[in-house]
Amino acid sequence: MPTSSKYTRREVVAGLAASAAIVSGIGPAAAQDYPSRPVQILVAFAAGGGTDTLARLIAPSLSTILGQPVTVENLPGGGGQVAATTLLRDGADGHAILATNEPDLFMSTVFAKPPYTGSDFQVIMADVFDPRILLVTKDSDLNSFDDFVARAKEQPGKLTVSATQGGAQELFAKWLFGKLGLDVRMVGYNGGGAAANAMLAGDVVAALGDDSARLNIRDQSKALLLGSGKQSARWPEAATLPSALAKHGLTPPSPEFLARYGVYVVPSSFKASNPAGYEKLQRALIEARNAPEFQAFIAKNSLQDLSIGKPGEELQASFSADNAEIEKLK
């Protein structure tokens, strides 16, 4: 005979669900308790760069919103591997956040064979983005991307293009010229500034850089191509990537293929184990961008159209499309 019980089936199920939430750390208490100690922003690059500057601008406001100190630590090295590895070690509970760039983070998992995979990370917020841009000197007789393509076909192997070596800039150039069947010689440099200076000095015909990062040579150069689906207020003469490729029957994986996104990243395990805490941190990061100091920096550098401040999930489809194409290039 069945034994009697004072609990109904609905009460038992509710009790089991509550127990599971407590065990997994996703109950209301988990959200209230997070963060329970200071939070670190781990910057994957040296101090003084754009990623570091924005992280330090957002940290005070983030601290106020979360009610805990927020510190910034620079962990450059290994193409971002040092900071990414530290995040996975120290940030499983959301008390460490990685400030880095995409697609560089994913590219490291494809080409560098680190002790982690792309699925170990979750982009919690996309901060700003900077599309790739193909530049020539102001007095160049190449006045459009169509001119560049025609010249490359007329003179295979003669056109030279500079780019930061070993990163997304160089990969974008190789992908672009490969898709168009162009025989263009790439020349790698240690940084974007050196690559741009090589073009200005006449050592190469063109330079592959980033939209806002190359504003320092705006008066000395003109843009042929912008790696975005929208025209740039800084380089209105540049053809957008989708429109330029459409003339050749090609479509990029995404309109901003291999554009540099400044992102904040947490371990995927944090989102899975504490979704309420994850959402709290995500809201705080987005809100922290409203700080007057942060917005003043955006305005001073004319980054309004490149300032995103969106949940990473809203860009996941674009990131996934780009990553699938990157996999083919290894």
pLDDT tens column, 77-107: 988 999 999 999 999 999 999 999 999 999 9
CATH topology of domain 132-246: D-Maltodextrin-Binding Protein; domain 2 (3.40.190)
- 252-281 burial: b if 16+ Cβ within 10 Å, else e: bbbbbbbbbbbbbbbbbbbbebbebbbebb
pTM confidence score: 0.86
Domain 37-129+261-328 and domain 132-246, same fold? Reply is: yes
- Taking the domain 37-129+261-328, which CATH number applies? 3.40.190.150
**Spatial distance between the Cα atoms of 291 and 287, rounded to a whole number of angstroms:** 8
pLDDT tens column, 268-316: 999 999 999 999 999 999 999 999 999 999 999 889 999 999 999 999 9
Positive or negative CA dihedral for 287, 103, 35, 59? negative
Give the residue among 264, 313, 321, 324 at the shortest CA–CA distance from 288: 264
What are the extents of the domains in the chain? 37-129+261-328, 132-246
Cβ atoms of 172 and 132 within 8 Å: the answer is yes
Task: Decide if pLDDT at 27 tops 60.
Answer: no
Looking at residue 2, the DSSP 8-state letter turns out to be: P
Give the residue among 276, 285, 213 at the shortest CA–CA distance from 49: 213
Residue 31, pLDDT score:
57
Residue range 253-272: average pLDDT? 96
Share of the chain above pLDDT 90, in %: 83
**Spatial distance between the Cα atoms of 153 and 181, rounded to a whole number of angstroms:** 9
Cβ atoms of 223 and 133 within 8 Å: the answer is yes
Cβ atoms of 293 and 64 within 8 Å: the answer is no
Q: Who's near 155: CB < 8 A, 6+ residues apart?
A: none
**Spatial distance between the Cα atoms of 264 and 125, rounded to a whole number of angstroms:** 5
pLDDT tens column, 219-238: 999 999 999 999 998 999 99
Residue 32, pLDDT score:
64
**Spatial distance between the Cα atoms of 213 and 8, rounded to a whole number of angstroms:** 64
Residue 49, pLDDT score:
86
